[in-house]
Every structure is written in structure tokens, then in C-alpha cells.
Amino acid sequence: MMNVTTSTADAAVPHAPSTRPEDGAPARPDAATAALLELGRALQAAGYRFTTVTPATHNRVRARAEHVWARDLCDVFGWSRPFHSDAVPPDILRLMQAAGIAQPHRDGWRCTLRVSELGGQLYFHSAYPTADADAVFFGPDTYRFGRALQRELADMKALGRTVQRAADVGAGGGPGAATVALACPDAQVYALDINDKALRLCGVNMQLAGATNVDVRRSDLLNDIDGELDLIVSNPPYLLDPSERAYRHGGGELGAGLSLSLVGQAVTRLAPGGTLLLYTGVAMRHNSDPFLAAVTPLLDGLTWTYEEIDPDVFGEELDTPAYQDTDRIAAVWLKATRPRH
């Protein structure tokens, strides 16, 4: 789930890897952001890889008594374990300190970010646990979203469909935007979010990926960019979070609020032949799909398909009061295309 909300802001993002045409030359990144980018490149050179698991699995692994302090880079940047200075190469620690992500912890340190791999690229995102209101999400949903997106982009290429303007709405750390940008190098891709921390990390992640055709911007859904789009992709928050953290809380009925708002807006912004690709979660009730019932009227006049790609995600949420009348939470994939004529 990426970070979106319904509050509006219109400031430009200072750390984007590319700029709007009217902005001129890119702004020079600050020293901490430059150090974070250099750190990412050092991890790439070291062959670092880590796959992010669910919070429940992460907690189980971290709780193992036989291993508390980090032993290697994956423990530091993946499992969010505290570490002593000798657990990482000196140049890595220097860059962490320069980037401001090495937090003192007892007689050692703790990294305030994680780094995960998807599709051969590395992405900075929030450390475990993601308790902060402005946490930047990356997890199993990101992998499902990424795989489905890669499949659709490959199909579009095989059909000769071109993309000139695309947007990843609620981009978070930017894996969706990078996937589109690398698959469509001639397209202008917008990575949109309202979370300042997400926008900063997204800018760094786009540079790490070599996605030079991405414009990282602050936007409430699509409200702060103009014009039609050939492709809109999104993995918005879809849970009911008691703390209403931006990266988790979807609002509305059973967390579907943001997803429905995005669909309602996106169908008015698609260019002829343009496509919306939405990955979201649905709280299934009494063996029925309330999101499908709510979204169907919004898709009038479009050609669309709807697929349940994982029948059971975030099962632990069923123990919370908000989901006492829910059978399961499923991950679904919506593809909607505006006819050319």
C-alpha cells in the first residue's frame, strides 16, 4: 500500500530525479539526500538483496532469542536489527551517519530505514516497525502489485500500445513509478504522493533505478496535475487503521474509500485508449464482494476486468473490532480502459 490521503497540497518536490519543464535545471540535493543516494549505490555494488515480509512474519523472525544484534547488511537494512559498528563496512556506516539514518541504540546503532529489492532494483522505505504516521510502506502487497504491473506492461508492449503520460498515484517509495518508467522509457511518468518522507525517498529510489523520466510531485490523488493520462497505476491504502496512518488507512466503508475515490477520478482523466491499473484489498463479507458492487457503476462506458489475485491477505486484521463481520481480506486487480472512440 502506498501513501495517499484526501488533503490537498501543491508544493513541488525538491528531490525529484527529473524536473518539470518549467522548472529548468534540477535542484541540488541536500547533503543528507546525496549521502543516502551514495549509500544506495554502495549497497547495489555490494550485491545487497532483501525481500520484505509481512509485519507478523517480521516480528516472529526478530523475536528469535538466538540472534538479537545484527550480523550482516541484511540484518541492518532488512530486519531492522540494532548493530555494532563492526557489523557494517566503515564506508557504509559513514554514509548512514551522513544521511542521518544511523540512530544511536544502547552501545551501537539502529538504521531508521529499510532497503528492499524488487525487479532487480533497490528501494529505501521505513524501518520496522512502521508505527509513524508518515511511514513509507513496502511489503508483500508491493511484490504482488509489481508482478501484476509487469505482466500488464508486457502485454501492452506486445500489442504495440504506447504510453506518453502515466501516473503512479500514492507512489510511496516509487516501485510502481519505476516499473512503468523503465518499461516505457519514452513516457513522462508522474510519481504522486502527499507524504514528504515518501516523496524524498521516492526521488532517491528513482535515481537508484535509473528512472530519469519520472517527475516526483506532491499531489492529492490526481488533483494537482493537469491533462489526460495514457496510464494510471495505484496501490492505495485499503485497511481500516485505528491510528489512521496514511500508508494503511483507506477510510470509507471497510477501507475502500480511497480506492473508490481514485477510480471515480481516474475514469475522467484517462485519454482515449488509456488504462487504469488498480491493486487494492477488499474486505469480503458474507461471501460477497462489496467493493465490486460499489465500483461497478463508476466504470460505466469503460472496458474492464476484475481479478482476485490473492484470496487471503492480512488475516490478523480479522481479530480487530473493525473486521468482526468480515470473512477475509482479498487482494484484487482492476483493469479499466477507455475506448478510443
Residue 14's pLDDT band (cuts 50, 70, 90) = very low
User: What cell does 81 get?
Assistant: 536489527
Out of 19-23, 25-29, 205-209, 242-246, which region has the weakest mean confidence (pLDDT)? 19-23
Out of 11-15, 234-238, 315-319, 335-339, which region has the weakest mean confidence (pLDDT)? 11-15
Do 121 and 61 contact (CB within 8 A), yes or no?
A: no
User: What cell does 5 get?
Assistant: 490521503
**Rounded average pLDDT over 32-52:** 98
Residue 66's pLDDT band (cuts 50, 70, 90) = low
255 DSSP assignment = G
Helix residue ranges per DSSP H, the chain: 31-45, 55-62, 73-77, 90-99, 140-158, 175-183, 196-209, 257-266, 290-295
Whether residue 9 is predicted with pLDDT greater than 70 in this model: the reply is: no
At 203-248, the pLDDT tens digits run 999 999 999 999 999 999 999 999 999 999 999 998 877 777 777 7
Residue 14: which CATH number? 3.40.50.150
Burial class of residue 171 (count of CB atoms within 10 Å of its CB; 0-12, 13-18, 19+): buried
Calculate the CA dihedral of residues 211, 216, 219, 225 and round it to 10 degrees.
-70
User: What cell does 304 get?
Assistant: 474492464
At 237-292, the pLDDT tens digits run 988 777 777 777 777 888 888 999 999 999 999 999 999 999 999 999 999 999 99
**Rounded average pLDDT over 79-84:** 96
**Rounded average pLDDT over 43-72:** 91
With b for 16 or more beta-carbon neighbours within 10 A and e for fewer, the 281-301 pattern comes to: bbbbeeeebbbeebbeebbee
Give pTM, 2 decimals. Answer: 0.89
Residue-level pLDDT at 26: 42
Residue-level pLDDT at 62: 86
User: What cell does 54 get?
Assistant: 509481512
One-letter identity of residue 193: D
Rounded to the nearest integer, the mean pLDDT of the chain is 90
At 89-145, the pLDDT tens digits run 999 999 999 999 999 999 999 999 999 999 999 999 999 999 898 999 999 999 999
Do 7 and 194 contact (CB within 8 A), yes or no?
A: yes
Domain limits at 45? Answer: 1-341
Number of separate domains in the chain:
1
CA distance 195 to 244: 14
Q: Report CA-CA distances (Å) from 202 to 135, 136, 221, 260.
A: 13, 10, 16, 25
Whether residue 21 is predicted with pLDDT greater than 70 in this model: the reply is: no
Residue-level pLDDT at 167: 98
The percentage of the chain sitting over the pLDDT mark of 90, rounded to a whole number, equals 79
User: What cell does 49 get?
Assistant: 538483496
Whether residue 7 is predicted with pLDDT greater than 60 in this model: the reply is: no
Burial class of residue 262 (count of CB atoms within 10 Å of its CB; 0-12, 13-18, 19+): buried
Residue-level pLDDT at 295: 98
Q: Report CA-CA distances (Å) from 181 to 89, 158, 336.
A: 33, 17, 20
Sorted by sequence, the CB contacts under 8 Å of residue 277 that are 6+ apart come out as 148, 149, 152, 231, 232, 233, 234, 333, 334, 335
Do 108 and 118 contact (CB within 8 A), yes or no?
A: no
Write down the residue that cell numbers 519514452 correspond to.
186
At 305-323, the pLDDT tens digits run 999 999 999 898 899 998 9
- Sign of the dihedral defined by the CA atoms of residues 35, 41, 62, 138, in that order: positive
